Chains A and B, each alone.
Chain A
């Protein structure tokens, strides 16, 4: 069965610090990978996604993620965070060629100190 692990439950950074949130998945075949963001009191929004091609994916708001197949990882990065990035971030995976159902990680809460 597919699973997604996010090892950082809560990350606290100062503004302008660099961010990297870890995500590992377990599935040996073709995967589609996602990062979603949930701002306080809001629903989940898609930040970026990887299907194939260039393993470095650019998303909205300056976020990017790198797919490393050999490590089963899809870490999220941002060079310089802002206070407005305070949110919960979810990594998710869907295996196979169709978006049947997406499995979510447990989430990482990001707190940015102004």
Chain B
């Protein structure tokens, strides 16, 4: 089983629909992140969470919301999807206490298309 699991892997949705992307992890990391990847723009941070009660906006949080239901689960919602939210979305976790595992562990990504 993957350490960081994202569902769904692919999704096509219509403009104006609400959609939730889910992320769960088995690494026991406190910190979780949501990024979107667009061609030529790299990965941009949407939201991040340092623990269940700590949620922070990233550089492009408008149009998105998140929920940290448990240490292992971090969901990203698009309240009313629009076409320019079409992108590849990645969830990641990190454990800053473990320098041998510094950096992120990424999920496999969710490819979202808004039509």
A and B bind? yes
Which residue numbers of A lie inside 8 Å of B, CB to CB? 6, 9, 32, 34, 36, 42-46, 49, 51, 90, 98-107
Q: How large is the interface on B (under 10, 10 to 19, 20 to 34, 35 or more residues)?
A: 20 to 34
Interface 0/1 of B26-45, CB less than 8 Å to A: 00000101010000111111
Can you report 14 residue pairs joining A to B where beta carbons are below 8 Å apart? A32-B102, A34-B103, A36-B103, A42-B108, A44-B43, A44-B104, A45-B106, A99-B31, A101-B48, A102-B94, A102-B104, A103-B45, A104-B42, A104-B44
Q: Closest B residue to A91 by CB, please name it.
A: B42
B 57-71 binary contact with A (CB < 8 Å = 1; else 0) = 010000000000000
Docked-complex contact A44 and B45, CB < 8 angstroms: no
Docked CA distance A59–B44 (Å): 24
Neighbouring A residues of B94 by C-beta, 8 Å: 99, 102
How far, in Å, is B24 (CB) from chain A's closest CB?
15
Picked from A42, A45, A100, A104, the residue with its CB within 8 Å of the CB of B43 is A104
Whether A101 pairs with B45 at a CB distance below 8 angstroms is: yes
Q: A36 vs B94: C-alpha distance in the bound complex, in angstroms?
A: 15
On chain B, the residues within 8 Å of A46 by CB distance are 103-104
Measured CA separation A100–B58 after assembly (Å): 11
**7 A-B pairs closest in CB distance:** A106-B42, A99-B96, A104-B43, A43-B106, A104-B42, A98-B96, A44-B106
Cβ–Cβ contact B103 & A105, under 8 A: no
Minimum CB–CB distance from A94 to chain B (whole Å) comes to 8
- List, in ascending order, chain A residues with CB within 8 A of B99's CB: 51
CA distance A43 to B44 in the complex (A): 15
